[in-house]
Structure 1
Amino acid sequence: MNVKYQNLSPTDAHNIQKNNEKVLAAEIKSFSSLSVSNNEPANRYKSITKIQYIALNNMLIPSTPEFTDIDTGEVYEAVINTQNPFKRGFEQYRNYLIHRLMYTYGLRVAECLMLTKDSIGPTLPDARGDVHYVLIVQSLPNDIEDPRKRPPSLKTVNSHRHIKLDIDDYSLLTIYIESYRDPVFKKKKTKDHNILFIKYTGKLTPLTYDAVRSFYKKK
């Protein structure tokens, strides 16, 4: 159809293109009329709709405990999300953040499970003095010992990347680390392996792929 690669006149190329478009349109129409067979299980998966995503996101927003603003002294009442299926604040923040990273930033489960506390942080001020917040997706550093039997890994070399975080997501990650994650290690006096998303009980080991899958499957 391209006169650059074929010895055709513009008119011939145009006519061939129109004919091919008609053939393709007929094929598309025939496929559109197909229906699911009643003799086969229709357990096919597809992306959730925008409305479904909003509903799921709203359900997983963590509850906010009562707190006092240090600068103003203003007391903010607790806001309880009664839809959230997870009871502990630790689990609500952790699972919501995993959900946000996957659905908003396109991270795979394995990539979420390889994040460390050092994977997030502010950039140096740019030429305008603006500071941005980034998430670094990469393999675990050599000095971190992964206790999982099947350690997660990056799918491809191109999976190493820097992602610009929304300031609200950076704030939630900071709250999770400083108010929920780190205090658990201090309370149990357990050595911190630095991996971001961990189990709340036991030896505070990093989450596994099966654990994340069970959140969506069971809850």
Structure 2
Amino acid sequence: MGLQIHFVVDPQGWLCMGLIVFVWLFNTLLIPKIILFPHYEEGHISAVAILCYYIFAVFCVVSLLRASVADPGRLPESPKIPVTERDFWELCNKCNMMRPKRSHHCSRCGHCVRRMDHHCPWINNCVGEDNHWLFLQLCFYTQLLSFYTLLLDFCHCYYLEPLTKVNWDIFVFRHELALIRISTFMGLIMLIGISGLFYTQLIGIFNAGHFKKDLQTFHTMRLLPLVI
């Protein structure tokens, strides 16, 4: 399974993905500036907390970029259909191309995708056979980063000792409370939304596995009288 570059020209998708990048930039620049580095300088936290935050942030944005540009499983214009699999292919009534069953036509991308799950505007790409695992990685790392951001916001307000060396001439410290509230709101929205999506994806994969197992059992039971 290769990760071929796939780029979707969709202004709505660019806007949605831009919002995700904005949330990532906002928290990645704000949290170290207003929480991590000041508390580290005063000895309230260790360098491990800073390192973990940047690791989660890098993993999150890298998985976002990979899921956005990876080919989800686009079918070629003239696919070579093996003789033994011709019964499992069908004609798409939208693009008039042959496609394997469980493939779907994406109206935004304008082509069929193998085992297409859905078109996600937040990554500006379809989620299909070849990039589904990348989409799950993105959901997982986003959950980690959102939860860690919420944890740092909570500790900064209610657990860690108050900062004593704060330059109130700097914008972020003069508007600290408002920025922390915005960060908390973004973290809650991302954590709740991505957790729900991640849960439904896992349930779908689990149910698909059971369906495949039941289908194999059904075919075995059909062949069993012939063997007997």
TM-score, scaled relative to structure 1: 0.23
- Relative CO higher for 1 or 2, CA cutoff 8 Å, sep ≥ 6? 2
Q: TM-score, normalised by structure 2?
A: 0.22
Q: Give the number of the structure whose alpha-carbon radius of gyration is greater.
A: 1
Compare the two structures and name the one with the higher helix fraction: 2
